[in-house]
């Protein structure tokens, strides 16, 4: 298996970065379609329009993203892009707007520029777009021929996003090092580019984890005060760039496999299971550490971090009060059905995963009471 490393063509981050977006986007195309959330465009649209005009980029279509990322919506926007001979797709906003933009870029072959307005997950830098069915279930994953040509992150916009979303981004990033290292240890796991991880990807994944531990709590405090300070800038980079490269070029495994298992309970009326992806990933990371037999000192380090920033460490924290063993076993069965669980260095079974979930919950609950 070849070693493969992929990443966005260019990453730009800083206060007021949106004001200069045209300086970078002009190398990608000159006839643009903008796909964005209503709120995202209200805070960035004026700057984008001005900078594009100054750099000779025409905006021929602006679409307000509403609702889920569906194949029907992507097809509709793809048709508009083709009719208007669009050669540059710009996605602005949260995950739904960005994935829709990447979906249109997938079908048109146009370069895509991504402008996230939150740091709630690590998808902005990735080449993939998750498409859902009308009932909210994952329908397919589209993988573009290359990563976004440009990812531009204006930290003045990010710092004004909800604190909980920012913390969820740290939860998503928390798994990066542990999953990348478990993929490498297995000797047979491939990353999302279809190859083995490189040393560069592993180093980035480790830097992601170290950055969270060192600056995560201070960064959360900064978001609460809406203050762009160095610790905040570092964690924004960890949430979006380091985790984005780390998961895609390093690989994913048990933590996200566990998240896939919990999806079976998302619509169960017995539970108040309303969490962000990164919050689930944080608990999934604890389960992965138990599955891998990590030392208690390492598990406690992760638990201490989660507690300090407010990430879930127990089933109760996820809204799964009084969850039954029968339902948890269903979670374990679905998790074991995920292909990424095969990236671990050992065989997993529903019974093993079930016990690991129970043990992680016990450890997290006990730690939270200290």
Q: Could you report the per-residue pLDDT of 243-286, keeping only the tens digit for each?
A: 999 999 999 999 999 999 999 998 889 998 889 999 999 999 99
DSSP 44: H
Residues 6+ apart with CB under 8 A from 296: none
Rg (Cα) of the chain, in Å, rounded? 20
Q: Which of 44, 169, 32 is nearest to 115 (CA)?
A: 44
DSSP 345: S
Q: Hey, CA dihedral for 96, 97, 99, 104, is it positive or negative?
A: positive
| β-strand partners of 223 | none
CATH 3.30.2010.10 is held by the domain 163-368: no
pLDDT single digits (tens) 191-237: 999 999 999 999 999 999 999 999 999 999 999 999 999 999 999 99
CA distance 155 to 19: 12
Contact predicate 11/243, CB 8 Å: no
DSSP 347: -
- 135 has pLDDT over 90: no
The per-residue DSSP string of 220-239 comes to HHHHHTT---HHHHHHHHII
Q: Which two tokens stand for residue 94?
A: 């949260």
Alpha helices in 60-188 (DSSP H): 71-83, 95-108, 155-158, 163-186
Query: CATH 1.20.1090.10 residue ranges in the chain?
Result: 163-368
CA distance 57 to 111: 14
Query: CATH 3.40.50.1970 residue ranges in the chain?
Result: 11-158
CA distance 32 to 88: 5
Q: How many helices (H) and strands (E) does the chain have?
A: 14, 8
DSSP 241: I
- 138 has pLDDT over 80: no
Q: 13 pLDDT band (50/70/90 cuts)?
A: very high
Residues 6+ apart with CB under 8 A from 339: none
Q: Which two tokens stand for residue 104?
A: 């249109």
pLDDT single digits (tens) 156-198: 999 999 999 999 999 999 999 999 999 999 988 999 999 999 9
Q: Which two tokens stand for residue 76?
A: 């509709």
CA dihedral 114, 115, 119, 121 (to 10 degrees): -20
Contact predicate 113/91, CB 8 Å: yes
pLDDT single digits (tens) 15-74: 999 999 999 999 999 999 999 999 999 999 999 999 999 999 999 999 998 888 999 999
* pLDDT for residue 274: 86
pLDDT single digits (tens) 89-121: 999 999 999 999 999 999 999 999 999 999 999
Q: What is the CATH number of domain 11-158?
A: 3.40.50.1970
* pLDDT for residue 22: 98
Contact predicate 126/241, CB 8 Å: no
- Determine which helix (DSSP H) or strand (DSSP E) holds 253, and give its type and residue range: none
- Cα first-last separation, the chain: 46
CA distance 71 to 69: 7
Distances (CA, A) of 354 to 275, 283, 319: 21, 14, 18
Q: 362 pLDDT band (50/70/90 cuts)?
A: very high
């Amino acid at each position: 298996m070849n070693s493969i490393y992929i990443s966005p063509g260019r990453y730009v981050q800083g206060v007021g970065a949106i004001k200069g977006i045209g300086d970078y986007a002009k190398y990608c195309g000159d006839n643009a379609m903008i796909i964005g959330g209503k709120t995202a465009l209200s805070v960035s649209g004026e700057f984008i329009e001005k900078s594009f005009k100054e750099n000779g980029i025409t905006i021929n279509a602006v679409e307000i993203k509403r609702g889920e990322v569906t194949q029907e919506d992507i097809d509709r926007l793809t048709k508009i892009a083709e009719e208007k001979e669009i050669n540059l797709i710009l996605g602005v906003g949260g995950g739904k707007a960005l994935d829709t933009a990447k979906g249109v870029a997938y079908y048109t072959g146009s370069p895509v520029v991504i402008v996230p307005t939150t740091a709630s997950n690590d998808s902005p830098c990735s080449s993939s777009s998750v498409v859902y069915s009308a009932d909210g279930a994952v329908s397919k994953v589209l993988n573009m021929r290359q990563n976004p040509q440009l990812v531009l992150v204006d930290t003045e916009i990010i710092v004004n996003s909800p604190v909980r979303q920012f913390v969820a981004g740290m939860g998503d990033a928390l798994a990066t090092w542990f999953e990348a290292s478990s993929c490498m240890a297995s000797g047979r796991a491939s990353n999302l580019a279809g190859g083995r991880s490189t040393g560069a990807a592993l180093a980035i994944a480790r830097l992601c984890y170290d950055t969270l531990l060192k600056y995560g709590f201070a960064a959360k405090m900064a978001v609460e005060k809406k203050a762009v300070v160095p610790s905040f800038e570092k964690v924004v980079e960890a949430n979006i760039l380091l985790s984005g490269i780390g998961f895609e070029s390093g690989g994913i495994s048990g933590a996200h496999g566990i998240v896939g298992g919990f999806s079976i309970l998302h619509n169960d009326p017995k539970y108040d299971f309303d969490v962000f992806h990164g919050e689930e990933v944080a608990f999934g990371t604890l389960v992965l550490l138990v599955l891998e037999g990590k030392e208690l000192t390492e598990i406690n380090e992760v638990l201490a971090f989660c507690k300090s920033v407010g990430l879930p460490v127990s089933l109760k924290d996820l809204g799964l009060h009084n969850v039954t063993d029968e339902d948890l076993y269903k979670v374990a069965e679905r998790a074991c059905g995920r292909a990424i669980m095969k990236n671990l260095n050992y065989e997993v079974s529903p019974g093993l995963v079930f016990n690991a979930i129970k043990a992680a919950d016990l450890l997290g609950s006990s730690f939270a009471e200290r």
